[in-house]
Homo-oligomer: A and B are copies of this chain.
Amino acid sequence: MRKLVVIGVGLIGGSFALALRKAGIVDRIVGVGRSRENLDAALERGIIDVAHTLDDNWAAELASADVVLVAAPLAQYPALFATLAPAIGAKTVVTDAGSSKQDVVTAARAAFGDRLPRFVPAHPIAGSEQSGALAAVPDLFDRRSVIITPIAETAPEALACVSALWQSCGARVTTLSSADHDRLLAAVSHLPHVLAFVLVAELAERADSSEFFGRAGSGFRDFTRIAASSAEMWRDVALANRDALLAEIDRYGDALRSARQLIEAQDGAGLADLFERAAAARRRLDVSPGGDAKGQGSL
């Protein structure tokens, strides 16, 4: 690959660039982003060779690009796609790293026209609560999952290209429909992020919040680690996957009310059963594939 363009050189885009560089399969990496400061950090760290802010004529880089990765917050996709789609070359493959997929496919359909076969929607299940080019690391995707959600129009060679690139990053690639992706991730990623944000925000707004945070142990720290994640990114995810997320919040609210009733009724047997079912399932997860994943990674 001669030329990779990364739009959004943050934790994900920057780590993708570093991983492909480490694998030795890309000559030249162009970074595109909103913030000059972040791009300069990416240049300084050797993540990218050339930097353009969104005000520059970055689209001029696209005709000769082999691959374009869009790794920006989801709300920026429609505008980015509108600029990008008409400017890519006939052989350019475009992919993304967004945490929801149906809305990304909708945005791609609206922008790509007859170039839609060149677009491969994807989502690396990796990251951390950190963000920006300074947080990027080459092994972020090592042994992590990447879900590709191809659509009927996706060109097989474009799909194969994106799949191979992620495998070069050390990732395990699987495919799902966009709808299945959004339904599953709403439950195991988007809901937990909302739950963690809500808990920390609720404590933080108390007049005596420092008394509470001062008693937090590492259980609390692990539970709320994802609440340190990018607010902008997660605002966009919550809105992009709104219907599935609302359904999960409602389901969770019902389950929490049931648990509350057990506590209120002092139903020890019911509580022990509930907690034991959770503990058994959670312990199984630790011995499942990927179960050795510890800290620093995130959905």
- Name A residues whose Cβ lies closer than 8 Å to a Cβ of B: 75, 125-127, 129, 144-145, 147, 184-185, 187-189, 191-205, 209, 211-232, 234-235, 238-239, 242, 245-246, 249-253, 255-257, 259-260, 263-264, 266, 268, 271-272, 274-286, 288, 291, 293-299
Contact = CB atoms under 8 A, between A and B. Distances in A.
A156 to B, nearest CB: 24
Chain A binding surface SS class: helix
A266 B238 CA distance: 9
A45 B147 CA distance: 45
A201 to B, nearest CB: 4
Q: Report copies per complex.
A: 2
A137 B202 CA distance: 34
A257 B266 contact: no
A291 to B, nearest CB: 8
A163 to B, nearest CB: 18
B282 A227 contact: yes
Given A209-B281, A299-B216, A202 B252 contact: yes
Contacts of A125: 215, 217
A212 B197 contact: no
Given A187-B203, A246-B264, A298-B219, A197 B231 contact: no
A204 B281 contact: yes
Nearest 5 CB-CB pairs, A to B?
A218-B297, A219-B298, A231-B275, A204-B281, A231-B276
Contacts of A295: 218, 222, 294-295
Given A217-B126, A223-B226, A266 B239 contact: yes
B195 A285 contact: no
A234 B280 CA distance: 14
A213 B266 CA distance: 30
B217 A189 contact: yes
A188 B191 CA distance: 19
Nearest to A260: B249
